[in-house]
Amino acid sequence: MSFKDIIGQEEAKRILQSAIRNNRLSHAYLFIGPDGVGKRLTAKTLAKALNCQRSDVDPCDECKSCRRIDRDEYPDVKIVEPVGNSIKIEEMRKIRREASFKPLEGRKKVYIIQEASTMTQPAANSLLKTLEEPQGETLFILTTSNIHGLLPTIISRCQLVRFKPLSAKIIEDILTKKKGIAKNEAYMASNLSEGSIGKALSITEEKGLRDRVINLIIEISLKDMEGIFQTAREFTQDRDQIPFILSILSSWYRDLLVFKESEDPSSLVNVDKKEEIAKEAEKYSKEEIEEIISLVLKTIDYIKRNVNPQLAIENMLLKIAGHETTRTVK
């Protein structure tokens, strides 16, 4: 991949390429933007450009250096990723030592720290001095989707490069042209993806799941307690799917609200379900939908904080279905 193959991040590319061209490359960059929009790709491309044997502003992608960087085999380009849930101080100490040496082969040593917000407090602090005044030909690229998880002192030492969520149109193009997905499906997935290709892809893989979840939630108000618990069991069956299911629910109720407010089908996420949305929107008042949305958001938050997912989802469904009383188990 060279810079021109990176889609949608024109401004980020402009900033980095003109910095190379004008020989004004900073020693530390912070790439911020949602997951799956090309931060890692851009970081590696920049590393290639700086070490490419043929050109400098855009890597050739063919020389030995470029190919080895692509395969993560190049000694002067290191990618640091969280081990478990965090990046620890030991890792940072190693980098600090190495960073003071000259590049082994290339022109520039590049450290790409992925998900920098997962650095532990000690790890982040131990990077501060190096980040401010690294010795020699060293470049740090930090990437994160959550800038609020970073120390202000880290942010202030880096030049910020913002990566935008990809527009739905671009994602749709990628899905149809590169991945061969049907146009209709691509359209829906790109609207649900919130600007992330990764997310869009996993949505197309899980098409059936979305239909099922939406059908279940439409029926929920007709069900008795037993039926609701059954639905809850189905939602929690596969733990890894829970966040996705909840995000389907939140987008569903968002659509109801948007439809009620604007009666305009063009801004819906679940574009393929216009009729269902119109019908469902009739059932609720705006305030009720708002209440449900905050309920879903709260549930997402609870589960993130390790509340038992089954209890949280049962509770949520009971409330959505209008059984306000708490659980009375037979």
Partner 1 sequence: MVYIVLARKWRPKTFEEVVGQEHITKTLAGAIKQNRVSHAYLFSGPRGIGKTTTARLLAKALNCEKGPTSVPCNKCTHCKEIAIGNSLDVLEIDGASNRGIDEVRDLREKVKFAPASSKYKVYIIDEVHMLTTEAFNALLKTLEEPPPHVIFILATTAPFKLPLTILSRCQRFDFRRIKSKDIVEKLAEIAKDEKLEISEDILFQIAQASEGSMRDGISVLDQLISLGGKKVTQEDLQAILGIVPQETFFKLTKSLVENNTKGALDLINQIIDQGYDIRHFTTDLLKHFRNLLMLKINEEIVDLPKDLKERLKEFRERFDQDRLLRMIEIVSQAREEMKRSERVRLILEMAVVKLTRLKLTVSVDEILGKIESIEERLGIMPAQEELSIEEVPTRLRRGFGGQEEGAPAEKIKDETSYPPTLNLRRAGLELGGIKDAWGEVVKEIKKDSAVTGAFLMEGEPIALKDDLLTIGFNEDFKFHKEQIEERENKELIQKALNKVFGKEFTIECRLTNIPRARSETVAQKGMAMSKEEFIEKEPVVKEALDIFGGEILEIKPSTGKVIPPEENKK
**CB neighbour burial string for 143-174, b if at least 16 within 10 angstroms, e if fewer:** bbbebeebbeebbebbeebebbbbebebbbbb
SS3 state of residue 59: coil
CA atoms within 13 Å, Cβ hemisphere of 154 = 26
DSSP string for 265-281? GGG-SSGGGHHHHHHHH
Cβ–Cβ under 8 Å, residues 119 and 127 = yes
Q: Which of 195, 213, 245, 256 touches partner 1 by CB under 8 A? A: 195
Asked whether position 290 contacts partner 1 by CB under 8 A, the answer is yes
Q: Cβ of residue 136: shortest distance to partner 1, in angstroms?
A: 7
Judged by CB under 8 A, the stretch of 48-56, 59-67, 98-106, 289-297 that binds partner 1 is 289-297
The three-state DSSP-derived secondary structure of 118-147 is: HECHHHHHHHHHHHHCCCCCEEEEEEECCH
Q: Which of 67, 78, 88, 93 touches partner 1 by CB under 8 A? A: 93
Q: Cβ of residue 304: shortest distance to partner 1, in angstroms?
A: 8
Interstrand relation of 159-162 and 138-144 (parallel, antiparallel or unpaired)? unpaired
Alpha carbon distance 262, 223 (integer Å): 30
Asked whether position 106 contacts partner 1 by CB under 8 A, the answer is no
DSSP-based helix, strand, coil % in the chain, nearest 5 = 60, 10, 30
User: What is the footprint of partner 1 within residues 110-169 (CB under 8 A)?
Assistant: 121-122, 125-130, 132-133, 136-137, 148, 152-153, 156-160, 162, 164-168
Q: Which of 193, 250, 270, 315 touches partner 1 by CB under 8 A? A: 250
Asked whether position 322 contacts partner 1 by CB under 8 A, the answer is no
Site track for partner 1 across 15-54, x = CB under 8 A: x--xx-xxxxxxx----x----------------------
Cβ–Cβ under 8 Å, residues 32 and 161 = yes
Nearer to partner 1, 24 or 71 (CB): 24
| Contact positions vs partner 1 (CB under 8 A) | 11, 14-15, 18-19, 21-27, 32, 89, 92-93, 96, 121-122, 125-130, 132-133, 136-137, 148, 152-153, 156-160, 162, 164-168, 194-195, 247, 250-251, 254, 257-258, 261-264, 267, 285-287, 290, 293-294, 297, 300-301, 304
